[in-house]
């Protein structure tokens, strides 16, 4: 089963904290971990992504917004400060996406819909720093390349009949832009702690759709 569907991985607000070996000028390495918050999420009608409660002769429906960028982020990077104020950085990170869930309840049964994403991302960026004091604010701008997948689960129960299937959408390279603000807090000549807020805007166009599990019980 192969289809092409455009899926948008929308703006993500990531909060990162890490230890980094950093010089005012020269080579540095870092590790980081953070969490992507759901912002500027979107509706996905193709996957019937809504909460619906039914009653005799009537029903109510609530559309559920989805963000594929939310979830746990962790990674590492290497960079070089050409001066106290200008540098470049290359980060590699992995997004373990949080689940978006919709629930449809009707007379005699229910349907659950679940979506989540996982991405490996490469992020080269430019750093503009205020300097090399004990507390050094900075801003970052860069591009983002990603490879990953989106998992969709459909779980339906209807008067004893069970239908369950799981499919994965993947293939192709995703592209996006990043920006961020942060500050380095010097702990020693060789070690510092930093906190950072990132904004990520990335789109994905899967090339493959694969049915992984199918269960029908009547």
Per-residue pLDDT tens over the stretch 88-106 = 999 999 999 888 888 888 7
Write down the domain spans for the chain. 7-217
Q: Which residue has the higher pLDDT, 49 or 179?
A: 179
- Which pLDDT does position 2 carry in this prediction? 43
Q: Is the model's pLDDT at 14 over the cut of 50?
A: no
Cα 102 from Cα 100, distance rounded (Å) = 7
Q: Which of 107, 141, 105, 108 is nearest to 126 (CA)?
A: 141
Beta bridge partner(s), residue 147? 120
* 20, pLDDT greater than 60: no
How high does pLDDT run on average in the chain?
80
Residue 207 binned pLDDT confidence (cut-offs 50, 70, 90): confident
pLDDT single digits (tens) 39-50: 666 777 667 777
- CA 209 to chain CA mean position, Å: 20
**What does DSSP say about strands 100-106 and 50-55: parallel, antiparallel, or unpaired?**
parallel
Distance of alpha carbon 172 from alpha carbon 7, whole angstroms: 12
What is the rounded (10 degree) CA torsion for 95, 98, 72, 148?
Answer: -10
Report DSSP letters for 108-161, one per residue.
TEEEEEEEEEEEEEEEEEEEEE--SSSEEEEEEEEEEEEEEEEEEEEEEEETTE
For 9-19, give one letter per residue: b (16+ CB within 10 A) or e: bbbbbbebebe
Q: Quick check: 6 pLDDT over 70? A: no
Q: Model confidence over 110-125: pLDDT tens digits?
A: 888 898 889 999 999 9
Phi, psi of 46 (to 5 degrees): -60, -30
Question: Average pLDDT for residues 65-71, to the nearest whole number?
Answer: 83
- Res. 11: pLDDT tops 50: no
More confident residue, 129 or 37: 129
């Amino acid at each position: 089963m192969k289809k092409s569907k455009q899926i948008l991985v929308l703006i993500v607000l990531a909060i990162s904290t890490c230890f980094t070996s950093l010089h005012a000028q020269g080579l540095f390495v870092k590790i980081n971990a953070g969490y992507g918050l759901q912002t500027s999420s979107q509706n996905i009608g193709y996957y019937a992504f809504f909460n619906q409660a039914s009653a005799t002769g009537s029903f109510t429906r609530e559309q559920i917004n989805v963000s594929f960028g939310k979830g746990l982020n962790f990674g590492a990077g290497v960079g070089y400060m050409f001066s106290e104020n200008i540098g470049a950085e290359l980060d590699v990170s992995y997004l373990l996406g949080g689940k978006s869930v919709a629930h449809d309840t009707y007379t005699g049964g229910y349907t659950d819909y679940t979506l989540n994403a996982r991405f490996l991302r490469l992020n080269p960026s430019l750093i503009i720093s205020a300097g090399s004091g004990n507390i050094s604010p900075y801003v970052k701008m860069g591009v983002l390349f990603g490879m990953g997948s989106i998992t969709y689960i459909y779980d339906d129960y209807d008067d004893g009949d069970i239908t369950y299937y799981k499919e994965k959408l993947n293939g192709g390279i995703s592209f996006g832009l990043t920006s961020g603000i942060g500050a380095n807090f010097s702990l020693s000549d060789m070690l510092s702690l930093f906190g950072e807020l990132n904004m990520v805007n990335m789109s994905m166009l899967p090339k493959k759709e694969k049915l992984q599990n199918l269960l029908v019980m009547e």
